[in-house]
Amino acid sequence: MASFCSVTSQPFNCIPLPIPNNTSHFLRRNYNPFQSHVPSHSLRCLPCGRDSPGTRISASITDVLVDVSVEVKQLPKGETWRVHKFGGTCVGSSMRIKNVADIIINDDSERKLVVVSAMSKVTDMMYDLIRKAQSRDESYVSALDAVLEKHSSTAHDLLNGDYLATFLSCLHQDIRDLKAMLQAIYIAGHATESFTDFVVGHGELWSAQILSLVIKKNGADCKWMDTREVLIVNPNRSDQVDPDYLESEQRLEKWYSLNPSKVIIATGFIASTHENIPTTLKRDGSDFSAAIMGALFRARQVTIWTDVDGVYSADPRKVSDAVVLKTLSYQEAWEMSYFGANVLHPRTIVPVIQYGIPIVIRNIFNLSASGTKICHTSNIDDDEDRLILTNYVKGFTTIDNLALVNVEGSGMAGVPGTASAIFGAVKDVGANVIMISQASSEHSVCFAVPEKEVEAVAEALQSVFHSALDAGRLSQVAIIPNCSILATIGQKMASTPGVSATLFDALAKANINIRAIAQGCSEYNITVVVKKEDSIKALRAVHSRFYLSKTTIVMGIIGPGLIGSTLLDQLRDQAAVLKEELNIDLRVMGIMDSKSMLLDNDVGINLSKWRELRQENKEVANLEKFVQHVHGNNFIPNTVLVDCTADSVIASHYEDWLHKGIHVITPNKKANSGPLHEYLRLRALQRQSYTHYFYEATVGAGLPIISTLRGLLETGDRILQIEGILSGTLSYIFNNFKDGRVFSEVVAEAREAGYTEPDPRDDLSGTDVARKVIILARESGLKLELTDIPVENLVPEPLRVSASAQEFMQQLPKFDQELSKKQEDAERAGEVLRYVGVVDVRNEKGGVELKRYKKDHPFAQLSGSDNIIAFTTRRYQNQPLIVRGPGAGAQVTAAGIFSDILRLASYLGAPS
């Protein structure tokens, strides 16, 4: 009677395969391919795996019925066993296989089980063989030869003598069998899943055999295990497999009774069904194999060897400041792996939880790194995480290429079965729902699916709900493409107030909009959906906020003149200190003047030679391109443009920049002293968003004038009057306009010393002081225009139209008499002249004028170019609050701008 292949269900004439003549000797030697010179899988009919007539050989050699006396060795389970798993990268070459062997030999554990993957790229090569054979591509023959060559050359590198001959004999027999099977697939033009799994599993067989021989060659007691003889699984509905632990445990004990050893090299990824049909453990199957074996052996620990130092707090390719986590709970690892972290597949953790077996992730290329330990919460020592200042959150992960599906309508509220109908339709098209969010109003259900599946989902929902849509019970089935999920994970988040607030605050400050939110009642995970283009930016923003890692700010400097260049030099000198002590990373991505600009990538311009770089690599200035370059780097969440010009055109762009989420810092007075409605729009925008607009240096250079004024107002004080000497230039002039000196002489001296603008009329006109007065007036709540401020112009009227500054200076002595008389009158009265700006809040007006003060007045005590401002308030009515200090000069102005930059950094998450 014909036999039938259990894979193809086709008649197959099974040919009995050889069994060694000396069967008793064969069993005593604990059968494996290297001792019998017969591949373990050749004991079955190929390709079907059925027993040859006349034998009882199936999944395990222990099923052979022979009348011999065999010493049975009981499997010792428990703490003496340690499981190692090495992936394809770890055994990717002969040198790496030797390194793996050294690690195993040097492990002082009493017993070791080692699970290995196929050599790097081999699994892909095996799948390619199937693909080519199915498509009748004859190159499968040469592709199979390449597989043979890869393993043959590896064996020659590592083995010699009988060890080499043993492996090559098995390898060549396998290749002959595979060639016959592939030829059959080539003829049929089709391969079943079981055929495919059988072919693909050879990569693991070969790597396990080679590694076991290398270890045996070093004198260790070592056996290799074809896990298809031990590990039994049941396919499930989700294209995965479930281990049958009871059956697997029984087969393991039978296997070990004939193969007792202190070192076992086991194949990963492959298994068998109850019918002894070869199969695989699907995605990340080798890790899963290691976890299952750890559970079967009740091992002390399962170590997963990989090419990274452990589990990171975020993807280090996206967040350079990500840290290796010392420990994770099973739940945290589960959540992180589900949401895309390159850790472990979620099912890998399941087998070890029951027995509390820790999993350790280690780097085979960096043995000094301790790795990450995944275990029960009770086994985690909080001291191990002491370097993490806020450890409520352990990690952040992202999933890209998603789409949101939003089903909404008033007819959904209170109608049983709506959610069931929605997700039933999704199930019918085989789509994977990654996140679900529904408001308590039941008005809408929102969920995320992979973008490649959303079209089918939308069509299914339109079909299921077509009558409800036509009747208006549902308003829409909307698709929002180009989305990403950001998951925030940590077991200590549970019942900890403020975690969500911190998360959302970090995203808001990075100007990132949240499209959907989900949080389970376990509170281990908060999931948000953002635009795909904001994914990395969001990841960096929240990681920085929770881990207090480097707060990175991208900067563009506009106007590298005297103030701008001084600022750049200050940034250069302080950069290392900021990184080391405050974790602030300031990166200047662009420098632009009116004619040219210098742009750089995400590393930032080398500020130690920015002047030379501007000459070598400059390009024609283009403000739009400049802003796009600086802000277009979505990998860094925070962007600031620093305007060091006095240009009204540049200032006109502030509102647009703030709308785009770009912070603005400036000493430029044009925006805040321009049209009132534009100023009010800027201030409203600043208050309504997390985008910051700082301009401390517009009034007092490096003096804290604006911040002092705001502090008074925000604490409930009432401003009555602000009066001050607000121009460093005019302060210098009138501090030195005494002792019989004439005005023109003092102005010439100030110009020569660099205190004035190139044209002193720009200072003497009082316009600059008037702009400062209007800024202070508006900050105090007055709605005044610049034209509402009367200004006493110190430029003689005939000279206001002089053709040049030189002509002005030549003619100025002719008008000294008037100011000299004012100075002499003040001197006779025991007073001094001072050029001041005044904001009279009580009377809602302001002015700029030359006033006289007693010599004991604070305004009379100034020297050099100092500024002084007196705040008369309800609290400081009898004794005004005085702010005094240098009010002009590139160094102090640049320092004022720098202070605003650091204030911005503290708002964005840097420690204060």
Residue 161, exposed/middle/buried by CB under 10 A (0-12, 13-18, 19+)?
Answer: exposed
Using H for helix, E for strand and C for coil, what is the string for 428-452?
HCCCCCCEEEECCCCCEEEEEEEHH
3-state secondary structure of 184: helix
3-state secondary structure of 396: strand
772 is catalytic: yes
Give the bridge partners for 116, in sequence order.
Answer: 86, 267
DSSP element (H, E) containing 549 = none
Instruction: Give the whole-angstrom CA distance, residue 268 versus residue 224.
Output: 12
Helices 122-134, 140-158: inter-axial angle, 10-degree rounding: 160
- Out of 772, 783, 821, 822, the active site residue is 772
- Report helix, strand and coil shares of the chain as percent, to nearest 5: 45, 20, 35
Tokens 């004035």 belong to residue: 756
Instruction: Give the whole-angstrom CA distance, residue 112 versus residue 105.
Output: 9
- The answer to whether the beta carbons of residues 404 and 529 sit under 8 Å apart is yes
Alpha-carbon radius of gyration of the chain: 39
What residue type is 877 in one-letter code?
Q
Q: Any idea of the CA torsion for 479, 483, 489, 493, to the nearest 10 degrees? A: -60
What residue type is 331 in one-letter code?
Q
C-beta contacts of 901-906 below 8 A and 24+ residues apart:
901/553, 901/555, 901/586, 901/640, 901/642, 901/665, 902/578, 902/582, 902/584, 903/694, 904/553, 904/638, 904/640, 904/663, 904/665, 904/692, 904/694, 905/551, 905/553, 905/582, 905/584, 905/586
Give the bridge partners for 437, in sequence order.
Answer: 446
Instruction: Give the whole-angstrom CA distance, residue 691 versus residue 665.
Output: 11
What residue type is 127 in one-letter code?
Y
- The answer to whether the beta carbons of residues 670 and 646 sit under 8 Å apart is yes
Within 117-245, strands assigned E span 222-225, 233-235, 241-243
Instruction: Give the whole-angstrom CA distance, residue 881 versus residue 870.
Output: 6
Instruction: Give the other-Cβ count within 10 Å of 910's Cβ.
Output: 23
Q: What are phi and psi of 792, to 5 degrees?
A: -85, 110
Greatest alpha-carbon pair distance for the chain in Å reads: 135
Question: Which residues does the annotation mark as catalytic?
Answer: 772
